[in-house]
Amino acid sequence: MTITRNDDEAMTRAAVERALAIHRSIAACHAHIARGDSVHAFTAALVLPCYQAEFLGLARLLDPAQQSELRTALQALREPV
């Protein structure tokens, strides 16, 4: 089986999309914890370290092109709308 450029780009996109999904989960946990008024805040506090560890582990496995794409996507999220 030959891996084509399109396959490689799809794998890059998939890894970056997974990292972004984890990042959104981390942000949601922080929001629930900040509100602190429900069982969701407690649950978020419990799962937040797991999401953070998963994000860091995935980020370490990304190649330089994927890391660059992830950085660009994360910076875009931080820019005001």
> What is the CA 73 to chain-centroid distance, rounded?
10
Look at residue 1 and tell me whether its pLDDT is greater than 60.
Answer: no
Domain annotation covers residue 40: yes
Say if pTM beats, i.e. exceeds, 0.85.
no
**Neighbour tally for 28: CB within 10 Å:** 15
Domain annotation covers residue 51: yes
The whole-number pLDDT of residue 9 equals 75
Domain annotation covers residue 76: no
Domain annotation covers residue 31: yes
pLDDT in tens, 12-25: 789 999 999 999 99
**Domain residue limits at 55:** 25-64
Domain annotation covers residue 15: no
Alpha helices in 1-81 (DSSP H): 5-35, 39-61, 64-78
The whole-number pLDDT of residue 26 equals 97
Domain annotation covers residue 19: no
Q: How many domains does the chain have?
A: 1
Domain annotation covers residue 33: yes
Domain annotation covers residue 20: no
